[in-house]
Amino acid sequence: MPLTFVTWNINSVRLRLPMVLDFLKAVKPDVLALQEIKCTNEQFPAKELAAAGYGHQVVHGQKAYHGVATISRLPLLEQTSKVLGGIDHARHVAAKVDYGRGQLTLHNFYIPAGGDIPDPEANAKFRHKLDYLTELKDWFDGAEFENGQLIAGDFNIAPHESDVWSHKQLLKVVSHTPVETEALDELLGRRPWIDLVRKHIPYDEKAYSWWSYRSPDWNAADKGRRLDHVWATGDVAVHSNGAEILRDWRGYGDKPSDHAPVVVRLD
């Protein structure tokens, strides 16, 4: 049974609900992982999404900030969430789905952005981000991550030179500093994780999933970063037969998210 999985930082699911509904109708993913939903569990538009065919939902939200949710056309089982970095900002939710080859655990992450100053001593937000990554690395050492895992979401790190519009100009900018990219590389190597986007899009090809609101014409300037990722353990990755970043949705409607959806397909 093929599975189409999408991760998307929606930057307020209630504000952009019409766009999400249009996306579900046009793309028809089996599973959609949303980050930065910016609402409590009770405020989440569960009824509207269920009416669109996505009645299986796991939500970990909070008022006004952060929050993650995964919606699916397939049953989602055994919902869990984990606090990392010592602060519960509703940044993770997980559930299992049967994708035809057994149960797959889907982890939906919103890793802290880290603020503007890449100095953990001067910036508590950056310290929180580094602590979060350290605890995530330790968690991945557990036996549960040996197989049957897919982790996805807004990691807020663009790890490679081809993941940013200018490697040299962004070396001192949060999301592409060496301490962050090295931490993410170490995380990737902690298990036999496969970066599913880069499995299908060569490393020497520029690939972005985020473009700042600050640019008056984001599309023409094209100063993007690949902040959104989908990784899988090797037993799952071998069944991945495609990945793409749906750039057009970054410019959809009057108030788009600053992130584009990232799609992976499992055969």
- Which tens digits make up the pLDDT trace of 80-132? 999 999 999 999 999 999 987 789 999 999 999 999 999 999 999 999 999 99
* Entry field: residues in the chain: 267
Q: Check pLDDT > 70 for residue 165.
A: yes
**DSSP H or E segment with residue 26:** helix 17-27
CATH number of the domain that residue 129 is part of: 3.60.10.10
Taking a C-beta distance cutoff of 8 angstroms, is the pair 151, 107 a contact?
yes
- Residue 37 CA neighbour count, 13 Å, CB half: 33
If you average pLDDT over every residue of the chain, what do you get?
96
Q: How far apart, in whole angstroms, are the C-alpha atoms of residue 115 and residue 125?
A: 5
Q: How far apart, in whole angstroms, are the C-alpha atoms of residue 249 and residue 112?
A: 23
Torsions phi, psi of 185, nearest 5? -65, -40
Identity of the residue numbered 93: V
Q: How far apart, in whole angstroms, are the C-alpha atoms of residue 243 and residue 199?
A: 8
> Could you tell me what percent of the chain has a pLDDT over 90?
94
Average pLDDT rounded to a whole number, residues 67-92:
96
Burial of residue 142, with CB atoms counted within 10 A of its CB: 0-12 exposed, 13-18 middle, 19 or more buried: exposed
Phi-psi region of 176 (alpha: psi -120 to 50; beta: other; left: phi over 0): alpha
CA terminus-to-terminus distance, the chain? 7
Give the CA dihedral 27, 49, 152, 237, nearest 10 degrees.
-50
Question: Nearest Cα to 70, choosing from 102, 29, 99?
Answer: 29
Q: Check pLDDT > 70 for residue 1.
A: no
Predicted confidence at residue 189, as pLDDT, reads 87
**DSSP H or E segment with residue 39:** none
Tell me the pLDDT band of 216, cut-offs 50, 70 and 90: confident
Tell me the pLDDT band of 236, cut-offs 50, 70 and 90: very high
The range of the structural domain enclosing residue 152 comes to 3-266
Q: How far apart, in whole angstroms, are the C-alpha atoms of residue 61 and residue 44?
A: 8
Predicted confidence at residue 234, as pLDDT, reads 94
Taking a C-beta distance cutoff of 8 angstroms, is the pair 211, 224 a contact?
yes
Residue in the structure block whose two tokens are 């984990």: 82
Residue in the structure block whose two tokens are 């070396």: 171
Tell me the pLDDT band of 192, cut-offs 50, 70 and 90: confident
Q: How many domains does the chain have?
A: 1
Burial of residue 110, with CB atoms counted within 10 A of its CB: 0-12 exposed, 13-18 middle, 19 or more buried: buried
